Chain A
Amino acid sequence: MSTLLATAVGVLYATAIYLILRRSIVKLVIGLVLLSNAANLLIFTSSGLTRYAPPLIPEGASAVVDGIVADPLAQALILTAIVIGFGVLAFAVVLIHRAYEVVKADDMDQMKDTDT
């Protein structure tokens, strides 16, 4: 399964990068969303994939039953990354919105100079 997901991560990265390289800022934003998904999935896959063993300890027990659960540390990292990704996305969206209002174009080449 990790091979399959690794391929998916590659595809996500490739599409994200392609979109970020566009001149249109809207595409840039879409690329950013894809990129944060790609990065999260990258961490998730590289921490090892486990089926049917969420990092939860059953009621009353003090440790997991057979000792094997999915890596909780990677999940904690990704959880905050998802939320922060949203915060950054919101910031970026508002920023390009503002920029568009000033420059009146969805073209980054017209935002090259700082004094426009």
Chain B
Amino acid sequence: MLYALLGGFGVAALAPWLHQLFGRHSGWALALWPATLFIYFSGFLAGVNDGPVLLQHNWIPSLGIQLSFMVDGLSLLFALLISGIGIFIVAFAGRYLEGHRDLGRFYAILLAFMASMLGLVLSDNLIALFVFWELTSITSYLLIGFNHEDAAARRSALQGLFVTVGGGLALMTGLIMLAMVGGSYELSSLLNQGDVIREHALYAPMLWLILLGAFTKSAQFPFHFWLPNAMAAPTPVSAYLHSATMVKAGVYLLARLNPALGGTELWLTVLGSVGAITLFIGIWLALRSTGIKKVLAYSTVMALGTLTMLIGLGTPLAVTAAMAFLLAHSLYKGALFMVAGIIDHETGSKDLRDTGGLFRAMPITAVVAGIAALSLAGVIPMFGFVAKELLFDAALKNAASWILALVIAGTIMTVAVGALIGFLPWYGAPVKTKKQPHEPAPALLAGPVVLALLGLGFGIAAPWVDRMLLGAAATAVAGVPVDYPVSLWHGFNTPLLLSIISLIAGLLLYRWRQHFHHHTRFTEVLARTGPERGYDLVMAWLIKVSAWQTGFFQSGYLRYYLLIILLTFMALVWTVLLLYWPALSFGIHLQGIQLHEYVLVFVLMAAAVAAARTDSRLGAVASLGAVGFTVALLYVMFSAPDLGITQVLVETLTVILLVLVLFRLPKFLRLTSTALRLRDVLVASAVGITMTCLLLFAADARLYESISHWHVAQSVPSGYGRNIVNVILVDFRALDTLGEIFVLALAATGVLAMIRLRAEDKRK
């Protein structure tokens, strides 16, 4: 398993080289990797109904982070979709981007993305899951911005990155809270802790954070805007990331955590309403778009909304519907996106209005597009029909009536969108296109054909699909065994009636789509003031704030940096001190001080003040010496002979050093005005008083038992030394000392480098 995942990154790293090696067949050659993975994961199908399979590897044992993987119905469904669709996407990309100078880089990122996505859906550890989650965001960013010379692509890539990574931050916090509450970082044990987690006081904040992560990733309202913009990516990317895989990561997470977090009123309300609103807005915007990829992107938003809503409902029926819908959607949307790529590739057009009558030029593509569009529209006997029947059934039984209304309206518009994609470009009067269209190469056609036919086949063999995988996936999502019969024909019932009504209404809507466009123009105002505008405002504000704060903090004057640091330090210290004021005691310990000690401390203070006040360099050095030697005496008086000796020696060397250098520098000048000096005196005194107070409080407070006793007791028995300080330095804490002598060596090296530089300057 580890090799299957990490090998992906290895193949990705080798991809540019492999691309050189295989030339124009590199697409098919690299497609062998996802194909291998697909076969490997298919091996798990046999045991998937027997419960999850766990595989563990230690990664950072001291932090409890393991590379552990869980294969159950849900993760297997995703893994098969990712690797299976991946085969065709890689082959498609090889042909679609043939001759592109950066194709090698493209393969590398695409394969790295695939590996991350697989890691995400198979991880059992929350931290590993999060790492893979962020990796998908980053690879997606690189893929959206693949045409990096295009400003719009760069902007879209950044937008996708900011939205998903921003949500990722929230997700990380949420996942850590989840692990704290559930007492484990392993999903497999967290999923059994549902009752504990749902009762916990942190449940609501944790849920909101996790939902924020999932909603941004899966383009839920109001974060849906980044997904259509991500269509700046090359079409294979759109087909893969933005329909079949990455955007479903959020849905995967919701489904995965449903047993731990789901089932509450909050979960139901938030997921149900956000999902339903997303569903409606998505399909509404799809119907109003004219770019082929935009239509598909918005209909993806609709699908993601549907999935979120179904997971929110959380009943066995609803999760079965969600899994069926997920499978159906991945199949037809992958196919349709690749068809969109073919149209673009063959005609040079990306707009529905510039195409028409393409059936004559490319009949196979047209038929495939038709089949996939039928699945999108949910027409019998496609698998999309099965999914839609389940959706209706679940919504009828469990959802609020306004949600049901949105679902029905969405379905009607989906039919119209299906007609828009499956009919409009292919039939009717031919439109003159930039290029002379003809049937595309096998590498381009393979994906759509296989995926569309699978959509048809799965529809007919729905009970078999259910038995093989869907049932297990639904069980994993629900957390309890789910055995809801899935089949093509459920008899004459309300869902079927709704299907027929929506089909007819959808076709009528398609027929009168010009009127629809005309009468819904008012919504364009909303688009201009919508969430994307909010994103722009936030970004503009961020730039303004960072410019201001850089100008404020990075003045280039050391003393202003210091002032800011010192004032912040004091503000923080005093906030804490005042908060705990009643609990603090402030003892004055002046008893038992001998006269010579008073004298010594007085000399110390006087010397320090003299060092600060003097205008002569010699005076300053002499005062420093006085400070140093009094401190040494204090060390000796209070039982620290080693410190005393060291201090005296260092003080001697310091004086030598200062004498060697300082007298080469000019005399002190009075550089600042009296007012500024007064300000600095005030700040410095405040810091001094703060430190004194801190020390006084610290003297009377002992929060933890000192660890020194251990060192004292063990010095002779295990350190074989009677000077405890030395034993600590060279034995107990020798690693610290090693670090410290390295610092010394570095300082010496730095000095040497500067002196040598100077010598070279002089020679010139």
Contacts and interface: CB of A to CB of B under 8 A. Distances in A.
Contact between chain A and chain B defined by CB under 8 Å:
yes
Contacts of A86: 650, 653-654
Interface in B587-610: 587-590, 592-593, 597-598, 601, 604-605, 608-609
B527 interface: no
Contacts of B21: none
A21 B634 CA distance: 28
Given A14-B688, A76-B733, A24 B627 contact: no
B695 A53 contact: no
B715 A106 contact: no
Contact of A93 (B642, B661, B698, B712): B661
A1 to B, nearest CB: 5
11 contacts: A11-B688, A15-B608, A21-B683, A34-B608, A41-B634, A45-B699, A51-B639, A79-B729, A87-B743, A96-B661, A109-B557
A58 B639 CA distance: 14
Given A4-B593, A10-B688, A75 B725 contact: yes
A16 B259 CA distance: 60
B611 A73 contact: no
Interface of B: 556-559, 562-563, 566, 587-590, 592-593, 597-598, 601, 604-605, 608-609, 611-612, 617, 620-621, 624, 627-628, 631, 634-635, 637-643, 646-647, 650, 653-654, 657-658, 661-662, 664-666, 668-669, 671-672, 680-681, 683-685, 687-689, 691-692, 695-696, 698-699, 706-708, 711-713, 715-717, 722-725, 728-729, 733, 736-737, 740, 743-744, 747-748, 750-751, 754-755, 757-758
B692 A88 contact: no
Contacts of A52: 639
A73 B705 CA distance: 13
Return the 8 tightest CB-CB contacts between A and B, nearest first: A14-B688, A10-B692, A70-B639, A87-B747, A18-B684, A72-B724, A10-B688, A15-B612
Interface string A20-38: 1111111111100110011
A93 B658 contact: yes
B639 A55 contact: yes
Contacts of B589: 1-3
Given A4-B597, A34-B627, A61-B716, A9 B695 contact: yes
A26 B733 contact: no
A28 B671 CA distance: 13
A8 B590 contact: no
A90 B683 contact: no
A4 B639 contact: no
A18 B609 CA distance: 10
A115 to B, nearest CB: 12
A73 B715 CA distance: 12
Contact of A30 (B556, B620, B683, B691): B620
Given A94-B754, A98-B757, A30 B611 contact: yes
A83 B740 contact: yes
Nearest to B755: A94
A79 B559 contact: no
A109 to B, nearest CB: 7
B662 A72 contact: no
A89 B751 CA distance: 11
Given A14-B688, A15-B609, A106 B665 contact: yes
B668 A24 contact: yes
B593 to A, nearest CB: 5
Given A14-B684, A15-B611, A6 B642 contact: no
A94 B661 contact: yes
Contacts of A4: 590, 593, 597-598, 601
B637 to A, nearest CB: 7
Given A30-B611, A73-B728, A100-B664, 10 more contacts: A18-B681, A21-B680, A21-B683, A26-B620, A34-B627, A46-B695, A72-B715, A73-B711, A84-B744, A91-B750
